[in-house]
Structure 1
Amino acid sequence: MTDGHYYDRHDLGRFPEIGQHAPELAKKFFDWYGAVFRDGALTAREKSLIALGVAHAVRCPYCIDAYTQDALSKGCDVEQLTETVHVASAIQGGAALVHGIQMRKVADHVGM
């Protein structure tokens, strides 16, 4: 830890170490991960923006750092990055609200 923070942005560079005790599994993961982010039906740039939105939704600071840099390197601007974060936030907020239906089902069942 540095400066009292759990996440240290420099630790992201150590990610390959995850395969130290399971090299075969790590290789399979990194091969698959690389293939996922290549151009396909979606461009690598589009995938980078999706990854940035997901990174915010799952609250992964390493992923946020990595995909902010990746999207910028692929020609995205801060306005596009910000809009991506708003899309992720809207989905997160909508998901919380739609779960209110579950609350209402339980409340209706209990008879309140």
Structure 2
Amino acid sequence: MTTREFGSYEEFWPYYVAMHSRAATRWVHLAGTLTGLAVTAYGLARGRKRYLAALPLFGYGTAWPAHFLIEGNNPATFGHPAWSLRGDAAMIRMMLAGRDAELAAIAEKWLADNP
């Protein structure tokens, strides 16, 4: 697997979105992350610290297979873990704000410019 190099998060962002070019991949990420957050919040509210593991288990446990099975690529987190976490949060915020079409356009442009 070849890891792309980026000089900044701003340069990385369109690539991150392009690695989520299919709507199904983005929605699986959203579902996994929000489920993980909900289970983690429930656990913390109940004083069960072991539920903290829910966030990475649900988040990565749904996202990574989506890359292999839906997108046909490797997760960007393998090469850029911190920026990928930031990108995931930004992508989910945009989706929750109803801006999924904007994400699709960012992905389409990056893929057209980087065959």
* Larger Rg computed on CA atoms: 1
- The answer to whether the superposition gives a TM-score over 0.5 is no
- Normalised to the residue count of structure 1, the TM-score between the two structures is 0.30
- Normalised to the residue count of structure 2, the TM-score between the two structures is 0.29
